[in-house]
Amino acid sequence: MKVGVFSTKSYDRTFLEAANVDDQHDLVFFEPRLTMETSVLATGLPAICAFVNDQLDAKTLSAIAQTGVRLIALRSAGFNHVDLAAARDLELTVLRVPAYSPFSVAEHAVALILSLNRKIHRAYNRVRENNFALEGLLGFDLHGRTVGIVGTGKIGALTAKILHGFGCRLTGYDVSQNPDCLGMGMEYLSLPELFATADIVSLHCPLLPETYHLIDAAAVNQMKEGVMLVNTSRGQLIDTKAVTQGLKSGKIGYLGLDVYEQETDLFFDDLSNQVIQDDIFQRLLTFPNVLITGHQAFFTEEALRNIATTTISNITDFAQGRPCLNQISLDRVKK
């Protein structure tokens, strides 16, 4: 198939081309992200490959459907940026990569925890300026601390496993209990109970209508004073304004983000020569106890290889008329 790959970076091209050696699809790489304005690039292409910041709303889907697109191959697990109802009505097939490397995200979540706790980011800048003073760099032992894992699927369970190795007490919240987590001694609690007892709260749940702004002002007020909050899942799980107020009051003592609710116009591009217009994001950067990475938790060799392999396999299944287990349908999501 001829496939238009949007939001292409050099690493996307490298891994997709390597995965495509045997399948021999005609991959056409576009640097711009897919929007209504760039949808014309899909003209004559039966398939497009999109990433998390591509715009797949009803208007854009209608536009690319009119150009001849029949397949949308997401190179991501998340699909909250896709209007599935519109895709169904337009008879567009949407495929995704349900799993790539849960280790990558789990390990990054723990890296944020360690960096925030021991203030590695601040210490690094100090030493570069020949400042070896320790004032302001005091951390705490992870051993014996209570960590609340919100969402105990594959990534949440692996995060719990790593922190269990540090000797942390594990609590969790999910719609169903993970036997592996129970085997590590995790205690499942209600969200208010988890917030009230956890020294560290790590988010590992999908973005659904019921999880939108899961961390709002009420949730922040339920948390322990000086709590550490880490999010490597979806930016919109957090009400950024509420969390900013929590930082100002001291209720939130540490904040680690790899995702941000308004990241679409920020992440994955070099904006170092521009003035960022997002005042809320800029405010976050002024706090010394905030550490933000640009949606890089997934960014390991193993994850990119798995994403590329599954994406190409999905396209091949569609091209050859085979059923694809990775198809997303509105009916399946509602179930």
User: What angle, 0 to 180 degrees and rounded to 10, lies between the N-to-C axes of helices 301-319 and 10-19?
Assistant: 50
Rama region for 334: left / alpha / beta (φ>0; ψ in -120 to 50; rest): alpha
Burial class (CB in 10 A: 0-12, 13-18, 19+), 153: middle
As given in the structure block, the two tokens for residue 78 are: 């998340």
Question: What is d(CA 107, CA 112) in angstroms, rounded to the nearest whole number?
Answer: 9
Q: How many CB atoms lie within 10 A of CB 46?
A: 16
Q: Cα 38 to the chain's mean position, in Å? A: 24
Q: Among 183, 187, 157, which residue's Cα sits nearest to residue 170?
A: 187
Give the residue numbers marked as catalytic.
234, 263, 295
Q: Among 121, 120, 162, which residue's Cα sits nearest to residue 142?
A: 162
User: ∠ CA(112), CA(115), CA(117), 5° rounding?
Assistant: 105
Question: What is d(CA 186, CA 207) in angstroms, rounded to the nearest whole number?
Answer: 23
Helix, strand or coil for residue 152? coil
